[in-house]
Amino acid sequence: MHELGIAFHCIKEVNKIAQENNVAKINSVTIQLGEVSTVIPEYFEDVWNWAVKKETILKDAKVKIEIIKAVTFCEDCKREYPTVQFGKICPNCGSDNTYLVTGNEFVIKEIEAVDQ
């Protein structure tokens, strides 16, 4: 389960940002997660909830997950299509000359600090 390592890295980054901005308490963190990023949202949320119990600034901070749809672009017909539904083969022209445009991201989008 690589979600644990990813959660620890994310917590480390959020702690660093909080310290740089003199934030004493974080209420929530919003993560944008690509649909084909290999991070399973439910697992990530479970390990996040376990890990933040041991934190100070992030103690009991909620994680909000927004899914970014996976979109692939076809170099031959110059059209985009939903990756999960069709995979690497373009449904418009049948080409495999394609690449992923979005859907593999893991982004810390927003950190909600508590006013003190």
**1-51 residue pLDDT tens:** 589 999 999 999 999 999 999 999 999 999 999 999 999 999 999 999 999
Q: Which domain holds residue 26?
A: 3-113
Answer whether 65's CB lies under 8 Å from 33's CB. yes
- Report the amino acid identity of residue 27: N
Alpha-carbon dihedral 82, 83, 89, 93, rounded to 10 degrees: 20
For the chain, what is the mean pLDDT?
95
The helix (H) or strand (E) run that includes residue 109 is strand 106-113
Structural domain count of the chain: 1
Query: What value does the mean pLDDT take over residues 86-104?
Result: 97
Q: Residue 82 is part of a domain; what is its CATH number?
A: 3.30.2320.80
Phi/psi at 28 (nearest 5 deg)? Answer: -155, 160
Q: Where residue 116 falls among pLDDT bands split at 50, 70, 90?
A: low
Query: What value does the mean pLDDT take over residues 75-81?
Result: 98
**CA pseudo-torsion sign 39, 35, 108, 44:** negative
